[in-house]
Amino acid sequence: MKNSHFPFEVPDIVREKLEQQDNRQEIICADGFKMSVQASRTHYCTPRINGIENKYTEVEIGYPSRPEPLLKKYADSNGIYAYVPAIVVYNVLQKHGGMIGGELPYLDIEKSAGLMTDAFTGYPL
């Protein structure tokens, strides 16, 4: 298969191995808040694909260092926050003084914001 990553034919099985996504480093914010932000074929994200060039509208967050009200509605019982919109991740980072360390997936904040709707009116936020 030929694609933007490889300018020559690469068997699918080889391409998949080459595009495997390692977990990203934990995010550290200016106020000390920490969380894992992940996106790949094996995480609760949109789209569910591997690759560093992909833009994600939703990501998986794991194990924040302290409770964060902006994430509460995405929580499960195991410390994982599934399908968190990119705009919510951005808002969490801003709330905690910005990111000073770690790695983020490539977030499509603009598209994510367009997908968000007000719970009462159904209109875009």
Tell me the pLDDT tens digit for each residue of 77-100. 888 999 999 999 999 999 999 999
The residue type found at 54 is: N
Element (H, E) at 62: strand 58-62
If pLDDT is split at 50, 70 and 90, which confidence band does 71 have?
very high
Distance, CA of 90 to CA of 71 (rounded, Å)? 12
- 61-51-77 Cα angle (round to 5): 20
CB 45 within 8 A of CB 59: yes
Pick the residue with more confidence: 97 or 6?
97
User: Averaged over 69-79, what is the pLDDT?
Assistant: 92
- Per domain, the residue ranges of the chain are 20-115
pLDDT digits (tens, 9 = 90+) for 15-63: 665 566 678 999 999 999 999 999 998 999 999 988 767 899 999 999 9
pLDDT digits (tens, 9 = 90+) for 99-109: 999 999 989 98
